């Protein structure tokens, strides 16, 4: 079976990370996988087991997802977007996949609707039409207008054979963040959480006993990191800040200047983040999907500061759900100060580590089983 996964991450790198984890699960099961990535390159992510094809890249202008920037930070014009569209359709024809999976679309990425619709139309015109599936995380950004939900529904019913929902339905269902009509509900297939294989301890012991502060792979969280620098002053544990984004070098330099002679580690995001997290004393982070799963899997005590710029509510909803677990506390950005960070950190450290027993973390493998069954039924 040949699988093509189309994904464009615009701010952080979570969507690409999840797509790569899903792709590796297909590859492990013996299938050929191409991940078509339209966001900025993210070399800290593990792309083993898949063929990663880079589309001419885009990023959002901060939290403004309607203004898209090229790699040189110029605004993407109609010619650039048309070139991307042609690249994506050409990749589809080159690969001739049996299965096409679109990450987030049509529930999101509306600014790239023309590109995704061109891909979907090309799927429908192929001599052997591929199985077409959507792929979404546990919680979506709710539609700001009813028309957006209606438009997504129309696209789903016209082009899709199903939607893989990467959540444990016993914990979070999609209708908690998105209006689900019965016909759309019939397309949903709950996989469980798409978590990577558990990471063992870091071979060099890096991060052991540290407070690890992270904000994903995007250019966000500077105020968060600045508060962490101040919170680390006088604290008995060593703090380690992992900074992402294309501007990370400048951000790291500013944070180091702020820290002065404070004994603290401030460095770029690292591919061994999860190994460091395994041995960490605690984590302070935002609450993206992949980070949340890393925290659940490792059981590390965690303070969550949900990303809520521009009215974003996804991470807040996820944080509220996770805060029912022992050793996890939520601190809203508006309440974040060095003092409140230290206070919440003390609470989770006192609670200690927790077990991951009973959590459905095999969503990637379950997604493979679902797709294999759907394809077998479609060609029977």
Asked if residue 14 lies in contact with residue 44, where contact means CB atoms within 8 angstroms, the answer is no
Query: Which pLDDT tens digits describe the chain residue by residue (380 residues)?
Result: 999 999 999 988 889 999 999 999 999 999 999 999 999 999 989 999 999 999 999 999 887 788 999 999 999 999 999 999 999 999 999 999 999 999 999 999 999 999 999 999 999 999 999 999 999 999 998 998 999 999 999 999 999 999 999 998 988 899 999 999 999 999 999 999 999 888 889 999 999 999 999 998 777 788 999 999 999 998 999 999 999 988 899 999 999 999 999 999 999 999 999 999 999 999 999 998 989 999 999 999 999 999 888 778 889 999 998 898 899 999 999 999 999 999 999 999 999 999 887 788 999 999 999 999 999 998 87
Nearest by Cα to 22 from 195, 158, 148: 195
Taking the complete model, does pTM exceed 0.75, yes or no?
yes
According to the CATH classification, is domain 211-351 in 2.40.10.340? no
CB atoms within 10 A of CB 124: 11
2-195+362-379 belongs to which CATH class? alpha beta
Whether residue 226 is preceded by a cis peptide bond, meaning omega within 30 degrees of 0, is no
Please classify residue 199 by burial: count the beta carbons closer than 10 Å to its beta carbon, then call 0-12 exposed, 13-18 middle and 19+ buried. middle
Strand duo 302-304 + 328-330: pairing: parallel
Q: Which residues contact 338 (CB under 8 A, 6 or more apart)?
A: 227, 228, 230, 231, 233
Q: Which residues contact 255 (CB under 8 A, 6 or more apart)?
A: 225, 226, 229, 241, 243, 266
Q: Note the pLDDT of residue 128.
A: 94
Q: Tell me if domain 2-195+362-379 and domain 211-351 are identical in fold.
A: yes
C-alpha–C-alpha distance, residues 69 and 60, integer Å? 6
Please give the span between the terminal C-alpha atoms of the chain, in angstroms, as a whole number.
15
CB atoms within 10 A of CB 175: 12
Asked if residue 41 lies in contact with residue 54, where contact means CB atoms within 8 angstroms, the answer is yes
Q: Where are the domains of the chain?
A: 2-195+362-379, 211-351
Nearest by Cα to 220 from 1, 23, 2, 10: 10
C-alpha–C-alpha distance, residues 225 and 228, integer Å? 5
- DSSP reduced 3-state for 214: strand
């Amino acid at each position: 079976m040949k699988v093509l996964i189309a994904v464009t991450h615009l701010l952080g790198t979570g969507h690409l990370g999840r797509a790569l984890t899903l792709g590796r699960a297909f590859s492990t099961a013996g299938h050929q996988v191409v991940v078509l990535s339209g966001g900025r390159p993210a070399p800290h992510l593990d792309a083993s087991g898949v063929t990663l094809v880079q589309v001419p890249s885009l990023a959002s202008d901060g939290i403004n997802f309607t203004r898209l920037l090229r790699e040189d930070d110029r605004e993407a014009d109609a010619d650039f977007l048309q070139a991307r569209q042609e690249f994506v359709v050409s990749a589809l024809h080159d690969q001739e996949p049996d299965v096409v999976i679109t990450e987030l679309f049509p529930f999101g990425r509306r600014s790239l609707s023309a590109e995704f619709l061109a891909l979907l139309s090309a799927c429908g015109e192929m001599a052997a039409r591929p199985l077409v599936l959507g792929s979404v995380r546990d919680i979506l950004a709710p539609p700001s207008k009813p028309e957006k939900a209606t438009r997504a529904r129309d696209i789903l019913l016209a082009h899709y054979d199903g939607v893989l929902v990467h959540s444990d339905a016993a914990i979070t269902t999609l209708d908690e963040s998105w209006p689900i009509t019965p016909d759309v509900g019939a397309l949903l297939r709950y996989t469980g959480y798409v978590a990577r294989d558990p990471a063992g301890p870091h071979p060099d012991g890096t991060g052991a006993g540290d407070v690890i502060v992270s904000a994903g792979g995007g250019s966000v969280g500077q105020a968060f990191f600045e508060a962490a620098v101040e919170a680390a002053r006088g604290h008995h544990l060593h703090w380690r800040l992992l900074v992402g984004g294309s501007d990370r070098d400048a951000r790291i330099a500013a944070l180091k200047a702020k820290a002065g002679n404070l004994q603290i580690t401030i460095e770029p995001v690292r591919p061994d983040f999860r190994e460091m997290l395994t041995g960490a004393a605690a984590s302070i982070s935002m609450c993206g999907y992949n980070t949340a799963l890393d925290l659940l899997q490792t059981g590390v005590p965690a303070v969550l500061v949900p990303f809520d710029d521009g009215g974003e509510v996804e991470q807040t909803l996820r944080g509220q759900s996770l805060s029912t677990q022992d050793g996890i506390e939520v601190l809203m950005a508006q309440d974040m100060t060095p003092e409140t960070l230290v206070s919440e950190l003390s609470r989770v450290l006192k609670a200690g580590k927790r077990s991951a027993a009973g959590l459905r973390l095999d969503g990637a493998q379950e997604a493979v089983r679902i797709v294999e069954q759907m394809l077998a039924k479609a060609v029977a």
